[in-house]
Chains A and B, each alone.
Chain A
Amino acid sequence: MRRALPLALITLLSSGCGALAPPGNPLVVAHRSGAGNWPENSRTAVRNAVAAGYEGIEFDLGLTKDRIPVISHNVALNPVLCAHADGTPLGTTPVYIKDLTLQELRSGFLCGGLADPDNPSAQVIADIHLTLDELIGEVSARPDLLLHFDVKFEPEKTLDATAFADEILGRWSAAGLPNPWYMSCAFPEFIRVAADRGAHVSYTLPRPVPALGSTGGAVAGDVLGKLGVGDFIGLARQSGAAGLNVAYQVADRAVVDAAKREGLTVQLWTVNDPAALDLYCHWPIDVLITNYPERAPCF
């Protein structure tokens, strides 16, 4: 008995309270509408995600020069995935969506026709950019489908935050679909504007720190969070966000627990490895974002 008690305590503690926590039940959302299986953010991906019975889709929104919301991950066309309409490569000079009208974007460029090195199992299908209005049409048959609008507003590289909020929220509201939805953005300028218009917006973290790169920025963000001068709950509260949209590489389970109790929603991105999906399916999060929803045990 004298030896058993400490051994039992140590065994319990070393297993971690996380291992004993009740399982979560997150909705599984297809990242970029299913980038693991189809060209990211494409009409093909949206159609197949709807047909596959996915619980939700995440897609990225840019804004053209003539203020048309289009589905695109980057503020500039991705030279790895996109090419000129005649097939020639984009080159090294960034082609910003804000500098193109929808007609120029569609007549001059195609995306999805190049193999995606990050998603080698994805189909390769060239297509013109999908607009938000067209996406709304594609999902109208699935009123249960959760929609995650990831807004790619970025100061100085896109149109202003008010234009993004007006065009996206205006079109979504006009469509009148009953689908559950929320937005996310990495910049508080947009979060404040959209939250003022009644949107549920999550703060995308970690914040980009171009000078440090993705890993350096994540490490710096983690340290600042631990110090409490840039912690995730504080950032969300200060920006008016109603949720946290957190990369799993920087997610802190204790912070997630506290954020949930504080009334914030939590989305975790982008988890693709089966073991990681199994782990994070047990976290008390609202949404688990993955390129491969079918791999998640909680789907």
Chain B
Amino acid sequence: MLLTAALALVLAAEPETASPAPAAPSWSFGFDRVDLISEEIGSFLNYDVLEVRVYPLKPVLRFVEQVKVVFRLPWTGLYVGASIESQSLTYELPVGPKGLFLTGGVVTRLLFPRGAIAGAAYRVGNFRFGLSLSAFTSGSWSAPGSFQWTFFPSLGFGLGFGGP
């Protein structure tokens, strides 16, 4: 809740008051960021966090499971990320000079194809904020025939350590 409230304040602020994002950074392969809140899947904010008052250990574990490490691939705009919960390949298309991107990607579960996300991201300084629609199935290597779809709006919050 605190995180999303902080995110709301940032998004509601005038873009001009935010730190200017690099207009055309040179691209290099390597570490990009850690998503403390991953917008893939999205069940942590949609469901798990609601259980914090009845069994806090579970949301804590689910939080850890969804923390994602993201790397830039050698191709501009392409990223690969991995958490316990999901692994993904995503693309970010810049749509303005102020750090705004359209995003899309495919999501796997231990590399089992699972779903996709689409949305937008905003990068400012070392922070990345995401807002996406996540669509994923219940399929897995142990239940490859399970194709129950779930759709979640989801938020992302990533922390980087310097741009490319």
- What residues of chain B have their CB less than 8 Å away from a CB belonging to chain A? 1, 4-5, 7-8, 11-12, 41, 43, 45-51, 53-55, 57-58, 61-62, 65, 84-85, 109-110, 112, 131, 138-143, 145-146, 148, 150, 152-155
A227 to B150, Cβ gap below 8 A? no
- B129, chain A: closest CB distance, angstroms: 10
Residue numbers in A under 8 Å from B58 (CB-CB): 222, 249-250
Cα–Cα distance between A248 and B109 once the two chains are bound (Å): 23
B49 to A16, Cβ gap below 8 A? yes
- A36, chain B: closest CB distance, angstroms: 17
- What residues of chain A have their CB less than 8 Å away from a CB belonging to chain B? 3, 6-7, 9-14, 16-19, 215, 219, 222-223, 226-231, 233-235, 237-238, 248-250, 252-255, 257-259, 261-262, 273, 275-276, 279
Q: Which of B50, B55, B150 contacts A258 (CB 8 A)?
A: B150
- A42, chain B: closest CB distance, angstroms: 29
A-B contact pairs, 24 of them (CB 8 A): A9-B131, A10-B11, A11-B8, A13-B45, A13-B153, A14-B1, A14-B5, A14-B8, A17-B47, A18-B46, A228-B112, A228-B140, A228-B142, A228-B143, A229-B142, A231-B140, A231-B142, A234-B142, A237-B143, A237-B146, A252-B47, A258-B146, A258-B148, A279-B54
B84 to A17, Cβ gap below 8 A? no
A7 to B8, Cβ gap below 8 A? yes
A228 to B148, Cβ gap below 8 A? no
Residue numbers in B under 8 Å from A12 (CB-CB): 153
B11 to A261, Cβ gap below 8 A? no
Closest 10 CB pairs of A and B: A228-B140, A234-B142, A234-B143, A258-B138, A14-B4, A10-B8, A276-B54, A253-B47, A258-B148, A6-B11
- A63, chain B: closest CB distance, angstroms: 30
B142 to A275, Cβ gap below 8 A? no
A262 to B148, Cβ gap below 8 A? yes
Residue numbers in B under 8 Å from A3 (CB-CB): 12
Residue numbers in B under 8 Å from A228 (CB-CB): 109-110, 112, 139-143
Cα–Cα distance between A11 and B1 once the two chains are bound (Å): 9
